[in-house]
Structures are given as structure tokens and as C-alpha cells.
Structure 1
Amino acid sequence: MKVKDLSRERLIWIAAIVLILYLIWFIVKQLITPLVLSFIFAYLFRPIHKALSKRISRELSSVMVTIAVLAMAIGAMVIFFCSLPRTVELITKELNYMSELIVRNFPQLKGVISSVSATLLLQQEAWRILHLVRYIPKVIIQFLVFIISFGFILYYWEEASLIISRFSEENSLIKKMVGRADKTLYSVINVWFTLSLIKALLMSILSYFLGLGSSTSMILGTSCFFLELLPVVGGWIVWLTLSIYLLLHGSVLYAVIASVYGFLLISPVPDLVLRPKMISKGSEVNQFLLMIGMVGGLMAFGIPGLLIGP
């Protein structure tokens, strides 16, 4: 009888632990992306924090670097929201121009296009409003988690590194795994940002030589940089939009040049050919395994999977 009670109690405890772990995962999984991004940015800004810590206190250094990152993030959001009305206006003009072009060549479709355009516009605006209302609180919370985590990770980086190094010294296998993980992480992050910067410069050069002006070229290059930091999205959106814009305005040759240039030098060819090779060289991991890790990690975990996968 006691054995049965003991086994029943054990099963209850196991079920309770599983339930608690599931609830923890359910809560934490919403914050994985900001936590991983905070770790990435802390990794990137660590040299600056380390240099400042030699002149001022570590606490003040971490606060200053965190404020600098916060200012950059707020600045990027302000620029984005300030340029959003102009972008929407340009897109609306292009859609109207496209509709007029179709109606001019196919007058019989005038009523259909007007009806479809009005319906799609109403549905799209309603979806945007609902989407913004639903996700604004979530984005604010994730942003706060990112900033707070960034500051804490930056401040306690040395202690964490010391604990890991002491623990790994006792086991050669763990030491080897930690060393390999550090190499892979360093390679993934550096290649990620380096390629994004190079692609942004290439996008700006393309736009400038196509006669779009220095300010527009800078905007397109900046957009390409930030889009390249987001997996799946990528800089192909910029060159594809530019090609469609040029095509609609009758610049067929420029549209073809932009498409070929973007496809070969911006996205997706460099991501499929150059990125795995560069990461593999820096991390000493097989290219095929690296590609499987990146794709599988992205599918399983989203943005954090690009680091977790490899």
C-alpha cells in the first residue's frame, strides 16, 4: 500500500514539474527574440564597454553604453515613423499610376479595378489598425526586455565568462564545446553584420548610379542594412521594389540592371553562396552542417535560431 502511495506521489510530482516547465517555456518563449538580440548586441558592444571600464567604473560604463544603444534604437524608430507617411504616399501614387495604366490599355476593366481596389484598400487598412493595436503592447514589452537584458548582460559578462571558464577547465569535452561555440557565435555575428553593411553600400551605389540622388540612395542603403539584419526578409525587398519602380516609369534597361545586380550581389546569391562559406571558415564547421543548422534553427526558433542552430 505504501509503495502504491509512493509511486502515485512520485507521478504527481513529475506531472507538476512537467506542467511548471511547460508554463515557464510558454511564458519565456515570447521573450526569446529580445533576449537573444540583447545577447548579440552585448557581444558586439562589449569591446567598447571594456575600453570605457578602464577609465570609468564598470557600472557607469554599462549605463552609458546602454543609454547609447537606447538612443540609437529610438532614433531609428523616429526616422522610420517620420519616413512612413512619405513611403505610404509614394506607394499609393505608384498603385494609382499602375491602375491608370491598366485602365488606359483595358478600358473594360475600369469598374472591376475600382471595385477591387476599394475593397482591398478597406481590408488592408482594417488589418493594419488591428495589427498595430494588437502588437504595440507586445513590441513595447519586448523592447523593454531587450534594453534591460542588454544592460545586465553587459555588466555581468566578465563574471559569467569566468564561471564558464572555471567550469570548463574541469572537463576537456565541455572546454572544447565552449571554445567551438564561442568561435561559431563570433563568426555568425560578424559575418551577419559585415554582409549587411556591404550589401547596404552596394545598394546605395546602385541607386546613385541609376540617378536617384544621394539622399534617396542613402535611404535605400539604410533600409537594405536593417532589412538584411532580419532573416527571411532581407535586402531583396529593396532591389525588387526599385526594379518595379523603374519598370513602371519606363526605364526597362535600368530595371533589368537593378534586378540582375540585386539578385547577384545583394540577395539571395550572397546568402546562399558567400554567407555559409564565410561562417564556415571562421567557425571551422562544415558548410553543409552549418546550412542545415541555420535553416533548421530558423524554422524551429525564428530569428534566434540563426544562432541556436549552428
Structure 2
Amino acid sequence: MKRTNVAVWAVVALVVLYLAWAMIRPMLSALFFGAVVAYAFLPVHRRLSGKVGEFWSSILLASLLLISIVGVAIVAVMTLSDVLSSAYAYTTDVFEWLYSIGLPVSVETSIKNFQVQLLPLLQERLLSYTFSLPGYVIQSLVFLVFMQYLLVNSSEIRRYLRELIPTEERELAEDLVSGITKTLDALVRSWLLLNLFKGLVMTAGLIIFDVTDTGGAIVGGLLTVFFSFIPLFEGWMIWAIAAWVLVRDGFLLKGVLLAVYGFVLVSPLPDYTIRPRLVAKEARLDSTMVLLGMIGGAMAFGIKGIIAGPIIFNLLASLVREWKRLNRRRRSKG
């Protein structure tokens, strides 16, 4: 009888877990980004909580993000067609430029085969984004609700996680968590948020200096964010190309001013002035892990993997480093 009851409850539990996963799976991207943003805004939330309380602090931050999301949605509705057209046109221009530089026949043939496969896929993806605004609204709602929930319950969540750690291993676990937290701080605040800021600044610069239309400027900003995630490339590539285009077209002063603007506000100066202030001295980011994480994350999880992959890889590296450090410390004591 007892075995029968256990089997019944096991089946019920499996069914409930399956149904829960089926409901959560479509929201994974929104939940993931909600957790990342909640973590990024946690220091601000703690300062505000001392003045207005945890609940109203979380509501205020969620409201500010709601305004930002509505703004992004309005810009997307107004410029989506231009952005998608610019993205497709720039991709085509890159291939045409490659064909014009006199590559070996075998290399050119390989590039043409790649283009034949890429452009239809790009058209399909761009068309799907055109009809994704309703989904964007729903995902944004899930994102905001989950972010607000994590912020308002951040103290309880922290207490609960602390209670899960066995007392005899608490010192070890706290040291590991401390090292991982520093790495996560560096990844989210100095890597992710700073790169997004660079993209916004680059978009504004392309519009201010009249390099391209709004759609092209947004594409340039997105490319700045993308290249800022890749070691050696960084965001300077976009302002350098834009400045060269202006100089080539006879706008020497605009080109020089854009180069100064990009150097000071996009890359590389912010990497040496702003980024070190945001990263703890003990935190170390492996650029190879960032690149591999982007590639592997995108292959495994889609677009959210571009951000999730580097975080997972660097957290793994941080966990290994802290484990080795603690083992060395234990051996020295012994």
C-alpha cells in the first residue's frame, strides 16, 4: 500500500513538474533578464530601501524600467522597418566589399556559398522580428513582474539561501560565494551595462554627426554593443569606420569630431576610466571565456545565450579559482 502511494505521488509530482516547465519555458528569456537586471540594480534598491522601504523601492525601479521599455517599444514601432532594412543592406554591402578586394577564387566561392545560405536566413529572421511586438509586450510584463518580485524579496531570498548552507561548511561556502559575487558584479555591472551604455552613446553620435539615418544609427549602436563583447574588436571599430566615411565624403571636421567623441565616450577611454571603478580589484574576467561563452551560449540558448554564456563560463572559472585558493589555504594551515 505504501509503495502504491509513493508511486502515485511520484507520478503526480512528475506531471506537476512537467506542466510547470511547459509554462515556464516560453518565459525563460524574460525570467533570465529579469534576474540579471534585478541583480544589477540591487545596490540602488538597497539604498532606496533605507528611505522608502523595500516595496516602494522595487515599485519605483520597476516603473522607471517600464518607462524605458515603453520608450523602446515606441522607437521600435517607428523605426523597425528602417532598422531591419539597414541591417540587411549593410550585410549585403559587406559581401560586395569582400568580392571587390580580389580574394582567391576558392575563398570567394566559399564566401558566396555562405552568402547564399545566410541572406535567406537573415530575411526570415528579420521578418519574424517584424511580427514579434505582441510577444515583446508579454515578455516585458513577465520581465518587470519577476524583477520587482526579486527586488522586494531580496533580503528573504538571501536569508533563505544562507540557511541552505550546512553550518560546518559555511566558511567555505561564504568564501566561494564572495569570489563568485565579485565576478558576477564585474560581468553584469561593468561588462553588460557599460557595453549597453556604449551602444546608446554610439547611436546618439551617429545621429548627431549625421552619418546615417535613425535606422542605420540604431544598427550601428547594436553592432557597437556586439563588438564590445568580443576581445580585440571592441566598440572603436564602429566609430572608426563612421569617421572614415565622413572624411572620405569630404566632411573632415565632422569626421575628426566623431573620432574624438567615440574615443572619449565609447572606446577605448571608458575601458580605462569607467570600467576599473566598477570592478573590484579581486575580480578577474577572462576574455577568452567571454568569447567562448558568447558563441557557446548563442548555440545552446539562442539570443539570451550571448549574455548568459559568458556569465556561466566566467562563474565556472571563478568557482575553480576560489576552490583552488581555499585548498591552498587549507594545506598551508595543515
TM-score range, shorter chain: 0.5 to 0.7
Q: Tell me which residue corresponds to 1:78.
A: 74
Confirm or deny that 1:190 pairs with 2:189. yes
What TM-score, normalized to structure 1?
0.58
Confirm or deny that 1:305 pairs with 2:309. yes
Contact 1:200–1:222 at 8 Å: present in 2 too? no
Contact 1:203–1:266 at 8 Å: present in 2 too? no
1: CA distance between counterparts of 2:195 and 2:89? 33
* Superimposed CA distance per residue, residues 134-189 of structure 1 (whole angstroms, 9 cap, x where no aligned partner): x3443222111101011111111122122223444722333233223312211111
Confirm or deny that 1:296 pairs with 2:334. no
Answer with 225-234 or 183-192: which moved more. 225-234
Contact 1:197–1:225 at 8 Å: present in 2 too? no
Contact 2:229–2:290 at 8 Å: present in 1 too? no
Contact 1:298–1:305 at 8 Å: present in 2 too? yes
Residue 36 of structure 2 aligns to which amino acid in structure 1? I
Residue 152 of structure 1 aligns to which amino acid in structure 2? Y
Consecutive unaligned residues of structure 1, counting only runs of 5 or more, are 96-119
Cα distance, 1:131 vs structure 2:
5.5
- 1:153-192 correspondence runs (5 A): 153-168=150-165, 170=167, 171-172=169-170, 173-192=172-191
Q: Tell me which residue corresponds to 2:327.
A: none
Q: Tell me which residue corresponds to 1:112.
A: none
Residue 153 of structure 1 aligns to which amino acid in structure 2? L
Cα distance, 1:31 vs structure 2:
1.6
Flag the 1:174–1:22 CA change in 2: closer, same or farther, 3 A.
Answer: farther
Q: Tell me which residue corresponds to 1:101.
A: none
Cα distance, 1:128 vs structure 2:
6.1
Cα distance, 1:73 vs structure 2:
1.4
* Superimposed CA distance per residue, residues 110-143 of structure 1 (whole angstroms, 9 cap, x where no aligned partner): xxxxxxxxxx99x96x98666544x344322211
Flag the 1:31–1:177 CA change in 2: closer, same or farther, 3 A.
Answer: farther
Residue 191 of structure 1 aligns to which amino acid in structure 2? S
1: CA distance between counterparts of 2:186 and 2:85? 40
1: CA distance between counterparts of 2:202 and 2:127? 35
Contact 1:191–1:279 at 8 Å: present in 2 too? yes
Flag the 1:15–1:91 CA change in 2: closer, same or farther, 3 A.
Answer: closer
- 1:1-310 correspondence runs (5 A): 6=3, 17=13, 20-84=16-80, 132-133=130-131, 135-168=132-165, 170=167, 171-172=169-170, 173-192=172-191, 193-198=193-198, 201=201, 207=206, 212-213=209-210, 220=217, 224=221, 228=225, 239=238, 246=245, 283-284=283-284, 292-293=292-293, 295-301=295-301, 302=305, 303-309=307-313, 310=315
Consecutive unaligned residues of structure 2, counting only runs of 5 or more, are 92-118, 316-334
Contact 1:39–1:153 at 8 Å: present in 2 too? yes
The RMSD of aligned alpha carbons is 5.4
2: CA distance between counterparts of 1:163 and 1:11? 30
Flag the 1:151–1:283 CA change in 2: closer, same or farther, 3 A.
Answer: same
- Percent sequence identity is 20
* Superimposed CA distance per residue, residues 227-262 of structure 1 (whole angstroms, 9 cap, x where no aligned partner): 6279989987x939x76x949x978x98xx99xx99
Q: Tell me which residue corresponds to 2:111.
A: none
1: CA distance between counterparts of 2:43 and 2:234? 28
2: CA distance between counterparts of 1:143 and 1:38? 9
Cα distance, 1:59 vs structure 2:
1.9
* Superimposed CA distance per residue, residues 94-113 of structure 1 (whole angstroms, 9 cap, x where no aligned partner): 99xxxxxxxxxxxxxxxxxx
Contact 2:34–2:144 at 8 Å: present in 1 too? yes
Q: Which protein is bigger by CA-based radius of gyration?
A: 1
Contact 1:62–1:151 at 8 Å: present in 2 too? yes
Q: Secondary structure at the match of 1:76?
A: helix
Contact 1:63–1:151 at 8 Å: present in 2 too? yes
2: CA distance between counterparts of 1:128 and 1:284? 37
Cα distance, 1:223 vs structure 2:
5.5
Q: Tell me which residue corresponds to 1:103.
A: none
2: CA distance between counterparts of 1:279 and 1:27? 37
What TM-score, normalized to structure 2?
0.55
Q: Tell me which residue corresponds to 1:102.
A: none
2: CA distance between counterparts of 1:131 and 1:86? 13
Flag the 1:168–1:222 CA change in 2: closer, same or farther, 3 A.
Answer: farther
1: CA distance between counterparts of 2:200 and 2:310? 21
Q: Secondary structure at the match of 1:176?
A: helix
1: CA distance between counterparts of 2:204 and 2:76? 18
Cα distance, 1:71 vs structure 2:
0.6
Contact 1:199–1:225 at 8 Å: present in 2 too? yes
